[in-house]
Chain A
């Protein structure tokens, strides 16, 4: 049976609350993965669970003009992260300490990617700690949650123009920091990043 869009499921849950479990089934793994990349798996277990109970509580205010609930869910998850900034700082420092000859368990995939990322990864992790929370949220929703600009705007309840400017600023700052660390990746000028799914 076709279950319908997320918006349809959420609308249905306003009358039949248990219908909301379908939202969990569809998106829990993605939300957990995003959170785990930011604060580690242990804390992600708790925060992912809390994301969905919070989302359930807020379902009556969900804008059903948006068929896909991912931006909304990632926004809730990101908001929860604000109260665990120390946990995230520990995670980012752990990235920064990654062995540059890391093998398959080091968090990088593919030989060529591993070679480049092995050089840049730790520095990227350190650079993230130097971003403001707002800039980091935009950058990581783009890079790790694979949200498009408009979706990030929905998630964080900010204008799309603000998303673009924060992303540009975050990328520029990361490049500056990588340049200082000698981990500069390439000499291309800073262009607008291609969005996920074109």
Chain B
């Protein structure tokens, strides 16, 4: 007998599923199927409703928008036609805009929050997790120079268990110190498209190297996706979001980025959506089932009139045992409050 044989005897006599459990699981599936079949896409007034992200009361107090976590992955193998149409429309809008960046800085002010997990102790082996708010201002120029000012706020707890675990560890200050960092231009000879470590370069946001030729841009995004660990359409979608936010990408580059997104398999039109700043935009989403955190959905909200990126959100669609809350659950968001071209950094 070898180890495979021995392994096959291990747990061989586990009991079959209890009939009641099986009936309950089947009923839950049928309920889920029926709910999906009856789920509307939007409510009157442009606000997405039902299946509101739950269990974070403090977030509700901030007036957060209700999220549609559709749970439905997109049609077939091609791009969702409705999503493609919306993204191509944004591309058309961007392409018609004048390039006025000149030698100035793109200034972006944002409010966001990110999932942070900490600690781990004998009493709370899972540690605790919270959304940590971040207020951010960034000035960035086409040469990669600029400034980033950041500060963090008090944690937003997913549930009482996380808060209790934090308190049990002495309620440490999770905000850290505010930061104010200035960057010089990308050093000569360094490929601005290739992420660089070290001081002096906001390399990731440096979009000088981006091309407006769609095929070339797709290839560049593919290369970065592969370098990030996987040339999947979800990773490509993430990179498009990275390159649309906070950058001095010229209007024609932004147009090309929207067209790349329009061609991705799995992008889904969520519809009209109101962000945390009260602005109504068009939302598209993509779902990732390969994340180490479970089934996640990324949502981009853009202004259909100007093509500006208004906001982003990440939604966890699965129940996980390390978060004290039920899905769908917002695990990160950014709202871009101001986006403007300015001549200097203060």
Q: Known contacts A105-B13, A140-B7; can you find 14 more A-B pairs with CB under 8 A?
A: A18-B30, A36-B11, A45-B21, A45-B24, A50-B318, A57-B72, A60-B73, A61-B73, A113-B9, A117-B10, A124-B10, A143-B7, A144-B11, A193-B4
Give complex CA distance A125, B11 in Å. Answer: 10
Chain A residues, CB < 8 A from B41: none
**B44 at interface by CB-CB < 8 Å:** no
Give complex CA distance A188, B5 in Å. Answer: 13
Residues of chain A whose beta carbon lies under 8 Å from any beta carbon of chain B: 17-18, 20-21, 24-25, 28-29, 32-33, 36-37, 41, 44-45, 48-50, 52-54, 56-58, 60-61, 79-80, 82-84, 86-87, 95, 104-105, 107-109, 113-114, 116-117, 120-121, 124-125, 127-128, 139-140, 142-144, 157, 171, 174-175, 178, 185-186, 188, 193
Contact B16 A33 (CB under 8 A): yes
Contact A83 B320 (CB under 8 A): yes
**B15 at interface by CB-CB < 8 Å:** yes
Contact B14 A171 (CB under 8 A): no
Chain B residues, CB < 8 A from A21: 26, 29-30, 33
Give complex CA distance A114, B9 in Å. Answer: 8
**B173 at interface by CB-CB < 8 Å:** no
Contact B14 A143 (CB under 8 A): no
User: Could you list 21 examples of A-B contacts with CB < 8 Å?
Assistant: A17-B34, A21-B33, A28-B25, A29-B16, A29-B17, A29-B22, A36-B15, A37-B11, A41-B15, A54-B289, A54-B318, A57-B72, A60-B73, A60-B75, A83-B318, A104-B13, A108-B9, A109-B9, A124-B3, A142-B4, A174-B3
Contact A107 B13 (CB under 8 A): yes
Chain A residues, CB < 8 A from B190: none
Contact A48 B14 (CB under 8 A): no
Chain B residue with the shortest CB-CB distance to A31? B17
Contact B11 A17 (CB under 8 A): no
Give complex CA distance A82, B290 in Å. Answer: 11
Chain B nearest CB from A96 CB (Å) reads 10
Report, nearest first, the 3 A-B pairs whose CB atoms are least far apart: A49-B25, A37-B11, A117-B9
Chain A residues, CB < 8 A from B181: none
Chain B residues, CB < 8 A from A174: 3, 7
Enumerate B316-342 residues with CB–CB distance to A below 8 Å.
318-322
Contact A86 B10 (CB under 8 A): no
Contact A107 B9 (CB under 8 A): yes
Give complex CA distance A113, B7 in Å. Answer: 11
Contact B17 A44 (CB under 8 A): yes
Chain B nearest CB from A115 CB (Å) reads 10
Size of the B side of the interface (Cβ < 8 Å), in residues, is 52
A107 with B14, Cβ < 8 A, contacts A17-B37, A117-B9 known: yes
Contact A120 B6 (CB under 8 A): yes
Q: Mark B23-64, 1 if CB is under 8 A from A, else 0.
A: 011101110111011000000000000000000000000000
Chain A residue with the shortest CB-CB distance to B24? A49
A82 with B292, Cβ < 8 A, contacts A24-B29, A49-B29, A50-B319 known: yes
Contact A86 B75 (CB under 8 A): no
Chain B residues, CB < 8 A from A80: 294, 318
Chain A nearest CB from B52 CB (Å) reads 18
Chain B nearest CB from A13 CB (Å) reads 8
Question: Which residue in A25, A109, A140 is a CB contact (below 8 Å) of B13?
Answer: A109
Chain B residues, CB < 8 A from A36: 11, 14-15, 17
Chain A residues, CB < 8 A from B29: 20-21, 24, 49, 52-53, 56
Chain A residues, CB < 8 A from B21: 45
Give complex CA distance A116, B13 in Å. Answer: 16
Give complex CA distance A108, B22 in Å. Answer: 25
**B219 at interface by CB-CB < 8 Å:** no
Give complex CA distance A80, B289 in Å. Answer: 10
Chain A residue with the shortest CB-CB distance to B292? A82
Give complex CA distance A186, B4 in Å. Answer: 12
Chain A residue with the shortest CB-CB distance to B20? A45
Q: Mark B122-152, 1 if CB is under 8 A from A, else 0.
A: 0001100000000000000000000000000
Question: Which residue in A83, A107, A186 is a CB contact (below 8 Å) of B321?
Answer: A83
